[in-house]
Amino acid sequence: MPETTRIGVIDHGSGNLHSACRALAVAGAEVVLSADIDELERTDALVLPGVGALGACMAGLRAMGGDDLVAGWVERGRPLLGICVGHQMLFEDGEERGEAVSCLGVLPGSVTMLPAERLPHMGWNRVAPCPGSRLFTGVESERFYFVHSYGVLASSPHSGITTCRHEDAEFVAATELGPVCSTQFHPEKSGAAGARLLRNWLALLDEF
């Protein structure tokens, strides 16, 4: 990864912005936190963060024109990383607190409440990386930090899908589909394992 690689973090008003920015900077990126579409378009890769309610995050993203930014970005094959609710926003739709939410449709699947007695799913958990994963190189057996009650259930095996289990609920913990990657967990809160994962992602950027 060249030293000049600039990572645009989309500021749509709800996200783990500062901790994510710090973690990316420590991993070796030049970080641009912005809600300005033109400024974000001039970066080399995008990060879509998000915490809280899926509907509120989608509303904030649409209000700044970020939905069109992400759609065009992905259509051009440029690299993007979604984190937590940002990961969920990349799927087709969701249902949260009785509200139907239309999402970005970059990835197939729907966000639903996890069928588990203990919610939120909060704390450290291991994942099952997809075959040939490069995002999880060197951290295949490590734990990552989750905090969520909703997710995309892993109903069937799919290439590029890393899974995790909470009680009887198996859900999508991460995706690696071409230039689009995402994590339901917080890499910026996952210690050394999360830092390695971010470095792995940055190392992939030259391919796109």
* Structure token digits, residue 138: 């060197």
Task: Answer yes or no: are the C-beta atoms of 83 and 52 closer than 8 Å.
Answer: no
CA dihedral 40, 43, 137, 111 (to 10 degrees): 20
- 33 C-beta neighbours (distance < 10 Å), count: 19
Sole residue written with tokens 């391919």: 207
How many H helices and E strands in the chain? Answer: 6, 13
Catalytically active residues are: 84, 186, 188
